[in-house]
Amino acid sequence: LGVVAGTCHRLAVMYAGRLVEEGGVGEVFDDHAHPYTAALLAAAPENAMRGRKPRAVPGAVPAPGEPPPGCAFSSRCAHTRPDPCDSAPVELVGTGARSVRCARSTELRRLGALRRPAEATP
């Protein structure tokens, strides 16, 4: 991830073969909008160098070619809700410069639920 931060301008995060978040590197690293991006950054080995213990993402990746209905990350997501996350395929939404595939992204970002544990407000 450090190489990406130092050499790239844009970043696309994929989960189970689906694009879940895309944007400028700084935006995605500092203000991630998808729970998988938050989990991926929390699991990064670079956390150990910052005095934070890397955290594994619970659960297992869906079988290739067999994505669950709705959000592919819902079975592993701490923020999933039955209706918005599982009922229908979640579309990629954004303004062109920034895109996210999460039915609850706006709400979770407003609540600060996607911040890294060391960055979360008490």
Q: pLDDT (tens digit, 9 = 90+) per residue, 86-110?
A: 776 677 777 678 899 998 988 998 9
Q: Is the pLDDT of residue 36 over 80?
A: yes
- Percentage of the chain beyond pLDDT 70 is 88
CA-CA distance, 52 to 8, in Å (whole number)?
Answer: 25
Residues 6+ apart with CB under 8 A from 49: none
| Mean pLDDT for all residues in the chain | 83
User: Nearest-CA neighbor of 1 among 55, 44, 57?
Assistant: 44
Is 121's pLDDT higher than 50? no
CATH fold of 2-119, please? Rossmann fold (3.40.50)
Assess whether pLDDT exceeds 80 at residue 43.
Answer: yes
How much is the average pLDDT of 26-30? 90
Q: Which residues are CB-neighbours of 50 under 8 A, at least 6 positions away? A: 118
| pLDDT of 63 strictly over 80 | yes
Which of the 8 DSSP states describes residue 119?
G
pLDDT at 119: 42
Is residue 118 scored above 70 in pLDDT? Answer: no
Q: Model's pTM, two decimal places?
A: 0.83
As a whole number of angstroms, the distance between CA 23 and CA 39 comes to: 17
Closest CA to 33 of 96, 94, 106, 90: 106
pLDDT for the residue numbered 122: 34
